[in-house]
């Protein structure tokens, strides 16, 4: 019974978070991709909406947990990229300096089309897929800082549509988003692993000692 309640509560939290992602615009087109019958496409839009909401969240505003494993992997990978390669993020304000509400999405698509031009596209690397979402997040953050936060839902829908059109066909026969999760999902560090191994070893040792103690008592 408790398990059913926890599962139901988890689904309700997920639905509320998705509703919050979609609730930033009254435009009927915005959020449509989140209801796609294709799970691969639906996940792409969910990642786009969640990641951009994540990076543009105002300080002090509580965040919903990532709505899927792929979304969690995207959040983690984006944060890691910022920590390890901050120079990657410093160049974009100059690239976006002339962007307006009317040119934000065309500018994004132009950059992505250049990056993923058929003449340059070979085997699609997961790092390239990550760069699509991170770039869109930086554009949304730039627009928000310039007082154009109303454009955020359009950027979310724009990058979702781009991933549906360009990325999804490439990964459909490669296990879908599972490869992205394997590549960028948060992994345990060595210290955590060693601690867990030690704990299990101690537990097994205690069980062995207890079993031996019970066996010797019965014997006597």
Q: How many residues does the chain have?
A: 220
CATH of 2-187, one of 3.50.50.60, 1.10.437.10, 2.40.50.700, 1.20.120.450: 1.10.437.10
At 54 the pLDDT is 96
Instruction: Report d(CA 98, CA 124) in Å as an integer.
Output: 30
Does residue 193 have a pLDDT over 50? no
Q: What is the pLDDT of residues 100-110, one digit of tens each?
A: 999 999 999 99
Q: What is the mean pLDDT of the chain?
A: 77
Does residue 115 have a pLDDT over 90? no
pLDDT band at 157 (very low <50, low <70, confident <90, very high): very high
- Is 115 in a helix, a strand, or coil? helix
More confident call, 171 vs 31 = 171
At 211 the pLDDT is 56
More confident call, 27 vs 50 = 50
- Using alpha carbons, select from 106, 20, 98 the residue that is nearest to residue 57: 20
- DSSP single-letter state for residue 187: -
């Amino acid at each position: 019974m408790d398990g059913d309640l926890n599962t139901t509560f988890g689904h309700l939290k997920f639905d509320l978070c998705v509703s919050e992602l979609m609730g930033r615009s009254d435009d009927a087109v915005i959020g449509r991709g989140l209801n796609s019958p294709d799970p691969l496409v639906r996940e792409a839009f969910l990642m786009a909406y969640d990641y951009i909401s994540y990076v543009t969240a105002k300080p002090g505003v509580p965040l919903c947990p990532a709505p899927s494993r792929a979304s969690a992997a995207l959040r983690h990978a984006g944060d890691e990229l910022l920590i390890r390669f901050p120079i990657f993020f410093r160049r974009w304000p100059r690239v976006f300096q002339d962007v307006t509400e009317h040119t934000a999405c065309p500018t994004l698509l132009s950059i992505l089309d250049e990056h993923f031009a058929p003449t340059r596209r070979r085997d699609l690397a997961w790092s390239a897929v990550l760069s699509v979402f991170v770039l869109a997040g930086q554009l949304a953050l730039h627009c928000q800082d310039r007082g154009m936060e109303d454009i955020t839902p359009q950027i979310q829908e724009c990058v979702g549509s781009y991933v549906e059109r360009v990325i999804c066909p490439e990964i459909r026969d490669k296990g879908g988003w599972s490869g992205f999760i394997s590549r960028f999902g948060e992994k345990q560090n060595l210290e955590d692993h060693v601690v867990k191994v030690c704990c299990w070893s101690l537990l097994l040792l205690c069980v062995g000692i207890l079993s031996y103690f019970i066996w010797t008592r019965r014997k006597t």
